Structure 1
Amino acid sequence: MRPRLTLAGQLLALQLTIIVLVLIAVTGVSLAQFDIGFRQSESQRMRAIAETGASTEAIRVALTDTSKQGILPPAADRLRALSGADYVVITDADRRILASPNPTAIGDRLDLADSPVLSGQAWTGMTTADGHRFVTAHVPVVASAAVVGVVATGRRYPPLGERLITAAPSLLVYLGVAGVLGVAGSLLLARRVKRQTLGLEPVEITRLVEHREAMLHGIKEGVIGLDTENRVTLISDAAIPLLGLPSRARGRRLEDLAIPPGLYDALTEDSGDGDRIVAIGDRIVTLNRMPLVTDGEPVGSVTTMRDRTDLIALRNELDVTRTTTEALRAQAHEFSNQLHAIAGLLELQEYDEVRHYVSRVSGTRAELSHEVTSRVADPSVAALLIAKGSLATEQGCTLRVHDDTSLGPLDEDLSADLVTVVGNLVDNGLEAARPGVVEVQLTESENDVAIRVRDSGAGVPDELREKIFQRGFSTKDGVGTDGRGFGLALIRVICERRGGRLTVESPGEGSSWGTEFVARLPRATGGGRA
């Protein structure tokens, strides 16, 4: 396996590559500038040399007097030697070369190309001779207002190699400075990046992200992460249907996802009391929010969620079974005591007293059953109240059904929810009022069913009015060890899931009642979300 470069190595390689590319560009620009500068400076210099030759009296005389043309070659050589030009050529008016550094060219005609020198105008430009390029200047020699000859000077244009050698010292300095700065910058940048990435290399970060994604989408519990602006940074596959969010929720704010107010509060506010139960549609979900803090600054939060709908339904069934079992146990205990009393009376041969005792006991039970069944037509709720009556008697309390109670048959779902609500409220009342009185009032309208349960206990302090509905909170001893602190929270969730509500009231001074709970259950579900 090919070894991978560290983050510092990758940054250094990247910066060195950039430096080389920049140097190539700088070299190109430098050569272009050199080309322009060389042409301008040498063109001016070659023209000045040619003008000096053309204005020399000896050269002018020699061009007008053929007998004196022998002085032209020495004059041209002297001018070339003093000026540093690569060549100085003198021709007559017919372009015939009279003086040249190349003796074999004497007598040939000079190629003037596009030069207008024979018309009396000086010219500078580029020419090619013997495979070399030259910066050339042509200046006319004028005598008696006529062009009698031409002085041509030139400087060989340096090839690419020479130009690179000329620019090499500067380029090496640039390369050295850029290399040092690049290495130092790469090391500092790598150090800063690694500090921000907790010392992890890119490969490690990639593997960490891959593992996180696999774990996030593999767990069955819902997970959602938010930043400080309540923007979704991560979300598991299980959380999307559980929260009713679109599949592309990542990167969007909760405000843009139409999150219900109760769920929004649970996802964004730290309750400080552990799990929170929220009704989402027809599901009951437990949320646990954990704030994220880095270097003492909040950076967001992660909320885990568990669907407890099936668990709570099972708990409701267990509560009904437990209530039935306790009622049967209470009735069995009551019947056992009554049988013992009857057996004792028979042993004493108090037959008349036996008849009176049996009539009194059966009348009391019949009276309770008649009182409930005459006002409550739903069999499940009626059976619950009768069973709770026996349980209240065993605990030394009295369970009364209010005279205004009136309840007809209910559909299966509403009846099951009503049994849970009434059963938990009565249990709370019996526990708070012992020994005392608990009164139940059930009324119905076209839209909902109202439950009012009050007890003669000490009441709920004002500062605990809302806390008693929190999951796990209880005013009794043994919280968290015997299942306390869940009844009222469950009732509120059931009420809110159906679109209803649960409130607590204190009748106040002068009243014989301590606490009064009022619950409303709409007949149709979906009245709202928690």
Structure 2
Amino acid sequence: MFDKIKPILNWFSGSKFQYRIFLILLLTSLFEIVTVSQGASSLIDDIIAEQVSHKALSQAKIIARIPLIKRALQEQSPELIQDLMRDVQRSSDTAFIVVGDLHSVRYFHPSPDKVGLTMTGGDNNWEQLRLGQPYSSISTGSMGLSVRGKAPVMDEQGRLVGIVSVGYMVSQIDSRIASDAAPVIYLTFFIVLLALFIAFVLSCYLKKQLLGMEPESIARQLQERTAIMRSLYEGFVAVDDKGIITAANPSAREALSQGETPLRGRNIREFPQFMALVQQEELCQEKDLHITVDDTMLICNATRYGTPGTPYGTVISFRKQEDIELLTQQLSQVRQYVETLRVQAHEYANKLSVIGGMIYMQDYDRALSYIESQSRSHQQTIDFMNQNIFFPKLRGLLMGKYHQAQELGIEFIMDDGCCLNKLPETTTEEQVIAIVGNLLSNAFEAVQRHITGERQVTLLITDVGDDLVIEVEDNGPGIPDDKIPDIIRKGVTSKKGVNHGVGLFLVNSIINQANGHLLFEPAQPSGVIVTAVIPGHPTRCRNGSEPTVSY
């Protein structure tokens, strides 16, 4: 049995979800309709049978009270009631009316040839009749299966003298039931068609709501989404059109509620900083918005989703600004290290070529003099850095910038006042490297654009006093006063190409975190002096967000 059903089950499980829903709804509706129809049909049968039985019994009792019938039975004269009963039979819708005596001998029957014969069916209950109690029965008589009403004929003294039997043929009852059930059948057929239509419409609606996806695909995508949300380092929050948070990953919970309270089910109004992102009336996308939550600067991206005519929702992703700045610093350092290695390799290759050429021409004295001069200059630079800069990574960066300047034909001067023994508590060596590296890179590019005159860049870095001061001066074209407020913004640059406009933004962000100052002053006769001041004992800025930028 199961082997026969198994192919059907396999086909059903392998069919599309829309078809499965359609069949389930249709079969369920048909089962309910058939069950109700059978129950209604059975109820109709019972009601009609009861009505017919009651009608037969009522007529039998009425006929049993006719005086002439009592007289005919008492006088044992069947001929007295023949004319009367034929008229009653013709005026009635009954199949038969039979009058019999105490010995079940017929005094009247619709078929005259059966008068005088014994009543058939075996359903005469004389004990009940002698008590004057009528009853109904179903039995097979000379005319076939019928529903009968039996009533006693009593004389004036209350004695039983005969019986009246009124019957309806079961075939007549079935015909009446069939005629009465026809509207029910038509209604059932109409309901079946209606159920078919509703099942089809509902299956199409479900398919549309599920975007044509199968349940298995939805379950798999839900599992994938859950895994992705848990693995995301960025915070992720989904908000519906009523402002209720419907999804949030652990990073968002950690950032917004310190991991103590689940975010799902809470109202976004509890975080008013995000309200502007979820109150848009149309689809839009916001990128790199800066929002402060509990003194923590977050960089947010928001995307609205939905279709016209349906409620909109919002997906918000965010990350701490300090995390992004740290990644930017690390990327900037790596790029600087790579550039330093490239410059050094290129410079040493050139110097080796010069030395090799002199040796090839047997000009040994000049080769030796060249080696000594290069070694002396290089050693002087190394000695100066070792004596004044006590941070190895920073010395490595400055040495690389020194060689890069030589390759680019730039005179890189380290001020005699350079001295760095300690750093402020709010600043790390990596952050100082990021500041110095970006400021020197900008200065080198600026003097390269200065066509006439010598190209010169001067660096002063000192911790004399309580503050860390980093000053970079170049004799490039300078920066117009009206451009200074914009150049510290992310993506703003005067350079051509892409991947620019990050350096000064990063410098400004680091100084912002340390509550320092970034100063721009014109240099003489041309160029600009950029000074970064980081306090050794920081105090919070009055507005709590932006550092002072002066020019």
- TM-score bracket, normalised by the shorter chain, equals 0.5 to 0.7
Q: CA deviation at 1:55?
A: 1.6
| CA-CA distance at 1:253 after TM superposition | 0.6
Cα contact 2:288–2:300 (8 A) shared by 1 = no
Q: 2:338 — aligned with what?
A: 321
CA distance in 1, matches of 2:117, 2:81: 14
Q: Do 1:491 and 1:502's aligned partners in 2 also have CA atoms closer than 8 Å?
A: no
Partner secondary structure for residue 38 of structure 1: helix
Q: Quote the sequence identity (%).
A: 14
CA 1:381–1:72: 2 relative to 1, 3 Å: same
Q: Which AA in structure 1 matches 2:179? A: T
CA change 1:173–1:242 in 2 (3 A) is: closer
Contact 1:97 / 1:110 at 8 angstroms: preserved in 2?
Answer: no
1:439 aligns with 2:439: no
Contact kept in structure 1, 2:329 and 2:430, CA below 8 Å? no
Contact persistence 1:50–1:153 (CA under 8 A): yes
For 1:380, the equivalent position in structure 2 comes to 393
| Distance verdict in 2 for CA 1:235–1:23, change over 3 Å | closer
Using a 3 Å threshold, how does the CA distance of structure 1 residues 117 and 67 change in structure 2: closer, same or farther?
closer
**Structure 1 residues 87-126: aligned runs within 5 Å:** 87-92=96-101, 94=102, 96-99=104-107, 101=109, 106=118, 111-113=123-125, 116-121=128-133, 123-126=134-137
Structure 1 residue 423 and structure 2 residue 434: aligned?
no
What is the aligned counterpart of 1:31 among 19, 36, 41? 41
Q: What residue in structure 1 maps to residue 248 of structure 2?
A: 254
**Contact preservation (8 Å) 1:89, 1:151:** yes
CA shift digits 1:436-483 (9 cap, x unpaired): 64433469x9xxxx9764445648744564x33xxxx24231131xx5
1:330-356 deviation digits (Å, cap 9, x = unpaired): 89999x9xxxxxxxxxxxxxxxxx9xx
Q: 2:156 is matched with which residue: 144, 151, 176? A: 144
Q: Helix, strand or coil: the match of 2:77? A: helix
Query: Which of 479, 493, 510 is the matching residue for 1:475?
Result: 493
Q: Which runs of 5+ in 2 are unaligned?
A: 1-10, 237-244, 257-262, 264-273, 279-283, 291-298, 354-368, 448-454, 537-551
* Map 1:73-92 → 2, pairs under 5 A: 75-92=84-101
SS at match of 1:154: strand
Residues 12, 271 of structure 1: alpha-carbon distance in 2 compared, 3 angstrom cutoff? closer
Partner of 1:170: 183
Structure 1: how far apart are the matches of 2:178 and 2:20? 32
Give the 3-state SS of the residue equivalent to 1:440 in structure 2.
strand
Counterpart AA for 1:119: L
Residues 121 and 141, structure 2, Cα contact 8 Å, conserved in 1: no
Deviation, 1:49, is: 1.3
1:71 correspondence with 2:90 = no
- Contact 1:126–1:135, Cα closer than 8 Å, also in 2: yes
Question: Which has the higher relative contact order, 1 or 2, with Cα contacts under 8 A spaced 6 or more apart?
Answer: 1
* Kept in 1: contact 2:469–2:531 (CA 8 A): no
Is the contact made by 1:100 and 1:106 (CA closer than 8 Å) also made in structure 2? no
For 1:128, the equivalent position in structure 2 comes to 139
Q: Kindly indicate whether the alpha-carbon contact (under 8 Å) linking 1:12 and 1:186 is maintained by their aligned counterparts in 2.
A: yes
Pairing of 1:137-286 with structure 2 (within 5 A): 137-149=149-161, 150-158=163-171, 162=175, 165-167=178-180, 169-171=182-184, 173-174=186-187, 177-178=190-191, 181=194, 205-206=213-214, 209=217, 235=225, 240-243=230-233, 253-254=247-248, 258-259=252-253, 261=255, 270-272=285-287
For residue 506 of structure 1, what is the aligned residue in structure 2?
Answer: 518
Q: Please give the alpha-carbon distance, in whole angstroms, between the structure 1 residues aligned to 2:173 and 2:119.
A: 34
Distance 1:257 1:370, change over 3 A: closer
Q: CA RMSD of the aligned region, Å?
A: 6.2
Distance 2:120 2:70 in 1: 20
Aligned to 1:60: 70
User: Does the 8 Å contact 2:97/2:108 carry over to 1?
Assistant: yes
Q: Structure 1 residues 402 and 386, CA, compared in 2 at 3 Å: closer, same or farther? A: farther
SS in 1 for 2:159: strand
For the Cα contact (< 8 Å) 2:303–2:315, is it kept in 1? yes
Equivalent in the alignment of 2:239: none
Q: Distance in 2 between matches of 1:45 and 1:296?
A: 64
Q: Distance in 2 between matches of 1:109 and 1:182?
A: 48
Which deviates further from its counterpart, 24-33 or 432-441? Answer: 432-441
- The one-letter amino acid paired with 2:493 is T
Match in the other structure for 2:60? 50
Residue 516 of structure 1, aligned match among 527, 532, 536: 532
Deviation at 1:57, TM superposition (A): 0.9
Contact 1:430 1:438 (C-alpha < 8 Å) held by counterparts: no
8 Å CA contact retained: 1:54, 1:151:
yes
User: Residues 362-417 of structure 1, C-alpha deviation per residue, up to 9 Å, x if partnerless?
Assistant: 69974x65553234333332232344356568535644486673149xxxxx8677
TM-score by length of 2: 0.56
Match of 1:406 among 421, 433, 437: 421
CA distance in 2, matches of 1:421, 1:22: 78
Cα distance in 2 between the residues matched to 1:258 and 1:479: 35
Amino acid at match of 1:319: Q
Q: How far off its partner does 1:59 sit?
A: 0.8
Equivalent-residue separation in structure 2 for 1:13 and 1:420 (angstroms)? 67
404 and 376 in structure 1: CA distance in 2 versus 1, 3 angstrom threshold: closer
Q: What do the CA deviations read for 1:113-159 (whole angstroms, capped 9, x no partner)?
A: 598442223x4444333597644333332322413233232323448
| Deviation, structure 1 residue 258 | 3.9
Unaligned residue ranges in structure 1 (runs of 5+): 217-231, 277-285, 337-353, 409-413, 521-530
Which one-letter code corresponds to 2:461 in the other structure? V
CA distance in 1 between counterparts of 2:172 and 2:507 reads 95
Aligned counterpart, 1:228: none
Q: 1:36 to 1:105 in 2, by over 3 A?
A: same
SS of the residue 2:168 aligns to: strand
Whole-Å Cα distance in 2 between the matches of residues 85 and 170 of structure 1?
25
Task: After TM superposition, list the pairs within 5 Å mapping 1:294-313 onto structure 2.
Answer: 294-295=307-308
Which one-letter code corresponds to 1:99 in the other structure? Y
TM-score (norm 1): 0.57
Report the CA distance shift for 1:72/1:319 in structure 2 as closer, same or farther (over 3 A).
Answer: same
Q: How far has the Cα of 1:288 moved from its partner? A: 9.2
